[in-house]
Amino acid sequence: MTATPTPPGEEPTAEAGSVDPDGCAHEAPSSPHPPAPATDTVRADPVAEAFRSWLRTCTRAGWAPDAVVETVEVRHSRGRVTAGPVTARWSVPAYRAAAMDGVAVADAALVDTYPQVLPPEAVVWVDTGDPMPESADRVVVREVVNARPDGTVEILAAPGGWHVRPVGEDMTAGSAVLPGGHRIRPVDVAALAAAGYVSITVRRRPRVAVVPTGDEIRPLGSALSPGEILDTNSLMLEGLLADAGCEAWTLPVVPDAPDTLATAVAVAAHTADLVLVIAGSSAGRDDHTDAVITGLGQVAVHGVAMRPGHPVVLGVLGGTAPEHDHRRPVAPPVPVVGVPGYPASAERAFEGFVAPLVRRILGVDAADAHPLAARLAVPVASSSGLDEYVRVRVAAVTDPTTATLHLIAVPLPRGAGALSTLTRAEAMLRVPVGVDGLAAGTSVQIVPITGATFAAGTTVVVGRSSAAVDALVDAHRVDAPDCVLHHSDLSDEDALAALAAGLCHTATAALPLGHAHAEAVDRLAERLGAITVLEIARAGDRVDALIVPAAAFDSAPIVGLRSTLSSMPFRRRLRDLPGHSGRTSGRETWHAPSVNPVNGAPSCATR
């Protein structure tokens, strides 16, 4: 569920010998360069290697991902995972059935001339789904049949098909209905019922205990004092666990006291298949998760070269005592995760470690990621020593030269505590270990986030900021999140380069008034091709404007900006700006670089 960057101008390719979080290696396509050794490849994916180390520690402690099975009613089986292959108990349909409304006849009773009349005993009127008479092998559809008063039937035209469903056309007795390890969907529920099942054997939902910690954490509904925080991470994790097919519950908030935390975790391990401890996984004075897990079991990993989510702790509670500590009693092993306290870090820890473990317990495969090709709208800084996971918005931009649409990725704020970033993200970009930042325009692959609103609805504006530009941005964002309009403050040259490269929808420009105005616009048209200049406001001897490729003039982002430019709320904002005039706001002037044969001037039209 990541994206790998590709140098500008090259198509994205699969990373050699990549390893997914479930520990499954993928062979890389042949290339002129020999692949790196397997050990180096594993080290290049810190999340996969940490997950492997965790599994090895759990296995040595005696843990195995053997799910318990149970029987549930088919009508209540949606979202459950089949315990094994399911075969049909009978054929569907179990009899030859009419596939259309009409009359059932023996094909031998028909002749090649039409219309023709058949006696009453030669036909049987049937509706769709009715059993076919033994003597009939064809249904003549009602549209070409005429019932006569004497009981005879007139066939007006040649039948267009047989319109008979044979026994087992949908599924035959003993044939596969669903594979084992399959998450049952609503359509699967119907198929199971049709195949003869009233109840079905499924894997029991993994039981997961969520243990929130922290002196400052308060349960939902509490009245907060300064410095106190609501326990929202538990709500998020419970939802993620439910979507993954688990039965989850949250314990009362545990204070930052090692003995109290150890008692809560030990009690949770008695009834849970997996324990998640929220916060306390870092190295602060009140971070006790690592020590508590060590005292109750073993820590396999503390800290992973990933961001967000670096301080995650992976371990096992109970199990076979390590050779260096024979004093700890043996208990059934239970995997445990110390989840970082910041929301973005908690979500990454879940996706990188909890979700893959749950899939192993349930015996289901990871859903195939379907990445999308995109280009970065702005540079992305990263540390070459970390796997970086960057949440992005997606924008559809019209190429100014080819007039074709392509996608660009706009990074969202990357603070691990930014909960709003999780709700606004449309896709995920992975910047792998070894990559020291990505330049604007870099070709990448992004993976849409399940359940996110992927509408490519972000508008990207680049160029120098000004009072009028800021007023436009603010007016456009009214009643909408900041991410609906992304403004990068770039120099004039960088802004025009981004517009020419198709990395934004429009660029701001400060154009002179008077005779120099036409010359400045002509130079833009010569560089960018046909353009439309949308005036924002005038101030002194200049006009702030949006430069739009003519091919993108009617695109949804530009239509939205045009609407804002002509809106009363924006004009009222301009009135509050000293020295600014909005009387020409929204004025549209089209320019083309081609020379007018009459007067030798560039083509131009204003409306």
pLDDT tens, position by position, 156-202:
999 889 999 999 999 999 999 999 999 999 999 999 999 999 999 99
pLDDT greater than 60 at residue 12: no
The two structure tokens encoding residue 442: 């870099």
What whole-number percentage of the chain has pLDDT above 90?
70
Tell me which residue has tokens 């131009």: 604
Identify the DSSP state of 27. Answer: P
Identify the DSSP state of 256. Answer: S
- pLDDT on residue 34: 34
- pLDDT on residue 83: 95
pLDDT greater than 90 at residue 336: yes
pLDDT greater than 50 at residue 606: yes
- pLDDT on residue 327: 47
pLDDT greater than 90 at residue 408: yes
- pLDDT on residue 605: 60
- pLDDT on residue 254: 94
Confidence category of residue 33, pLDDT binned at 50, 70, 90: very low
Give dist(CA 123, CA 104) in Å, integer: 6
Give dist(CA 240, CA 454) in Å, integer: 20
Could you tell me if 531 and 524 are in contact, meaning their C-beta atoms sit under 8 angstroms apart? yes
What whole-number percentage of the chain has pLDDT above 70?
86
Could you tell me if 364 and 303 are in contact, meaning their C-beta atoms sit under 8 angstroms apart? no
The two structure tokens encoding residue 396: 């559809």
- pLDDT on residue 286: 61
Burial of 600 (0-12, 13-18, 19+ CB in 10 A): exposed
* CB neighbourhood size of 12 (10 A): 17
* CB neighbourhood size of 568 (10 A): 8
Could you tell me if 473 and 426 are in contact, meaning their C-beta atoms sit under 8 angstroms apart? no
**Distances from the Cα of 359 to the Cα of 86, 96, 442, angstroms:** 20, 42, 34
Which of 12-21, 139-148, 360-369 shows the lowest per-residue confidence on average (mean pLDDT)?
12-21
Which of 138-147, 400-409, 442-451, 476-485 shows the lowest per-residue confidence on average (mean pLDDT)?
476-485
pLDDT greater than 80 at residue 293: yes
- By C-alpha distance, which of 109, 113, 145, 108 is closest to 126? 145
The two structure tokens encoding residue 74: 């088919």
Angle of helix 515-528 versus helix 492-500 axis, rounded to 10: 40
Identify the DSSP state of 320. Answer: S
The two structure tokens encoding residue 360: 């192993």
Could you tell me if 394 and 449 are in contact, meaning their C-beta atoms sit under 8 angstroms apart? no
Round the average pLDDT of the chain to a whole number and report it.
Answer: 86
Question: What's the whole-number mean pLDDT along residues 444-453?
Answer: 86
Question: What's the whole-number mean pLDDT along residues 450-471?
Answer: 84
- By C-alpha distance, which of 457, 471, 464, 442 is closest to 536? 471
pLDDT greater than 60 at residue 30: no
Confidence category of residue 280, pLDDT binned at 50, 70, 90: confident
The two structure tokens encoding residue 127: 């509706």
Give dist(CA 34, CA 36) in Å, integer: 7
Could you tell me if 329 and 317 are in contact, meaning their C-beta atoms sit under 8 angstroms apart? no
pLDDT greater than 60 at residue 455: no
- pLDDT on residue 25: 35
- Domains within the chain, CATH numbers bracketed: 69-87+180-202 (no CATH), 97-165 (no CATH), 207-362 (3.40.980.10), 367-457 (2.40.340.10), 459-606 (3.40.190.10)
Question: What's the whole-number mean pLDDT along residues 239-255?
Answer: 95
- pLDDT on residue 400: 86
Q: Which residues contact 497 (CB under 8 A, 6 or more apart)?
A: none
**Distances from the Cα of 322 to the Cα of 61, 288, 313, 319, 341, angstroms:** 8, 21, 18, 9, 29
The two structure tokens encoding residue 415: 């603070």
Burial of 517 (0-12, 13-18, 19+ CB in 10 A): middle
- pLDDT on residue 23: 39
pLDDT greater than 70 at residue 421: yes
- pLDDT on residue 284: 60
Which of 250-264, 338-352, 415-429 shows the lowest per-residue confidence on average (mean pLDDT)?
415-429
Give dist(CA 476, CA 534) in Å, integer: 15
Q: Which residues contact 432 (CB under 8 A, 6 or more apart)?
A: 2, 4, 5, 15, 44, 45, 387
Confidence category of residue 376, pLDDT binned at 50, 70, 90: very high
Query: Residue 315: beta bridge partners?
Result: 299, 336
- pLDDT on residue 453: 63
The two structure tokens encoding residue 351: 């996706």
Confidence category of residue 416, pLDDT binned at 50, 70, 90: low
- pLDDT on residue 95: 94
The two structure tokens encoding residue 270: 């008695």
- pLDDT on residue 596: 52
pLDDT in tens, 216-228: 999 888 898 999 8
- By C-alpha distance, which of 29, 37, 36 is closest to 13? 29
- pLDDT on residue 1: 37
Could you tell me if 269 and 296 are in contact, meaning their C-beta atoms sit under 8 angstroms apart? yes
Query: Residue 160: beta bridge partners?
Result: none
| H-run or E-run covering 47 | helix 46-60
Tell me which residue has tokens 């009362």: 252
Alpha helix locations (H) across 363-491? Answer: 419-424, 467-476
- pLDDT on residue 515: 86
Give dist(CA 164, CA 141) in Å, integer: 11
CA gyration radius for the chain? 33
pLDDT greater than 80 at residue 597: no
Question: What's the whole-number mean pLDDT along residues 521-537?
Answer: 92
User: What is the distance of C-alpha 197 from the center of its chain?
Assistant: 34
* CB neighbourhood size of 28 (10 A): 15
User: What is the distance of C-alpha 69 from the center of its chain?
Assistant: 31
